[in-house]
Amino acid sequence: MKTNQQALRRLPLLTEINIYIFTLTFAILHVILQPTGLEPIVASVCFGNLFGLILPYLAIIASFVHIFIRPCLEFCLYAGAYESIVLEYKYVWIVCILLINMAVAITDISHRAVEGADYRYNRSRYLDDAAGKFWDSCEDYITTTVVPWKENATLDPKRQYIFACHPHGIHCTPLGQFHCKGTPFDKRFPGICDNKLSGLAASIVFKLPGVREFFLSLNYIDASREVVEDALEAHRSLFICTGSGEESLLTKRGEDILVLSRRRGFIRMALMYGCDIVPIFGIGNSDLFATYSWGMGFRMWMQKKLHISVPIFHGRYLTPLPYKVPIQVLVGEPLKVPEPKVRGEKPDDATVDSYLKKYIERVKDMHKQHTTDRKLTIR
């Protein structure tokens, strides 16, 4: 369901069409696969292949053309029109579709809009509900439990928070706890997920056809400083994977590697707007895929210079299917920050460094308390 009563941000018409196509695709998959028991596996493969969602998009377009456009061409033009116009030039059509989508992705700035950046699916509609159930089935494959810092822990929905998620892994699974209502986190801490909450994603994510529609259909906005300040000024809470793409490249099974010691940005923003910082740690998230260090120097250079991360990984049977590993999402006690004298005023570097050290110690304590044989490395 929608996360609040305000109007959703406006998206380009092609983006809205694409989101509808994706919704239709996942709804169809739910209807077909749910009776077979294969739905959790297929949904988990889609999750593992998140940056390849353009493939089902092209598949559903091809199916639509074959089922509906073919008879129209045959009726309106001549027998064999479908073969001579569509099939003979299929690669031209595919390239044209991709180029149009790329042009929209490059020029569109809707991911920088803060107001209305909320969950778009409405569970009261059959199509949206079926698509949502498809993604919900991932929980039947990757079991996720939420573990708060104490048994009677609560979070005040009226407070403004920054939820800092670790580790990134190949995909930052803990972020999914904040996408919409009904997640294990939402059930444990009601009133947070439907109360002006936005996720932060790198700008490059919104320039990739297929991927951008997935993130724009959720409550994500651009992670640039200007957009983040606009969101916090509008009293929105944020969730973010602080280690970003650099941390994803360092992912190793059996070990938790965080890029955190130099990440002052989220601490500075919290101090500027008086947001409590809640550490979120996904134990097991680093174990969902096997990773390789081939060409790490070049890939790390691309990440730092071009902000493009290319992890080399695979799941079970050398596929995007994640290994069947349960995830414990630890919710740490909020790190309280003082209310700023002037909202939005930048704190001095010494104060930022002091709170970053406090935060890192809190993360270390969380990890030590809930693990016995996992190494934690903080860079």
Residue 74 has a pLDDT of 84
Q: Which candidate, 324, 339, 369, places its Cα nearest to that of 139?
A: 324
Residue 66 has a pLDDT of 81
The separation between CA 129 and the C-alpha centre of its own chain, rounded to angstroms, equals 19
Kind of pairing between the strands at 255-258 and 144-148: unpaired
Residues 188, 200, 307, 376, CA torsion sign:
negative
Q: Which amino acid is at 53?
A: L
Residue whose tokens read 């101090």: 271
Residue-wise pLDDT tens digits, 59-112: 777 777 888 888 888 888 888 888 888 888 888 988 898 899 999 999 999 999
pTM over 0.75: yes
Residue whose tokens read 């979120």: 280
Residue 87 has a pLDDT of 86
Distance between CA atoms of 320 and 317, rounded to whole angstroms? 9
Backbone dihedral region for residue 266 (phi beyond 0: left; psi -120 to 50: alpha; all else: beta): alpha
Strands (E) located in the chain? 144-148, 161-166, 197-201, 220-222, 237-241, 255-258, 276-283, 290-292, 312-314, 327-331, 375-378
Number of H helices and number of E strands within the chain?
A: 14, 11
Q: Say if residues 175 and 220 touch (Cβ distance below 8 Å).
A: no
* CB-facing half-sphere around the CA of 59: CA atoms within 13 A: 11
Q: Which candidate, 271, 279, 214, 256, places its Cα nearest to that of 22?
A: 214
Residue-wise pLDDT tens digits, 252-298: 999 999 999 999 999 999 999 999 999 999 999 999 999 999 999 99
Residue 6 has a pLDDT of 63
Distance between CA atoms of 333 and 183, rounded to whole angstroms? 19
Q: Which residues of the chain have pLDDT under 50?
A: 1-5
Distance between CA atoms of 83 and 86, rounded to whole angstroms? 6
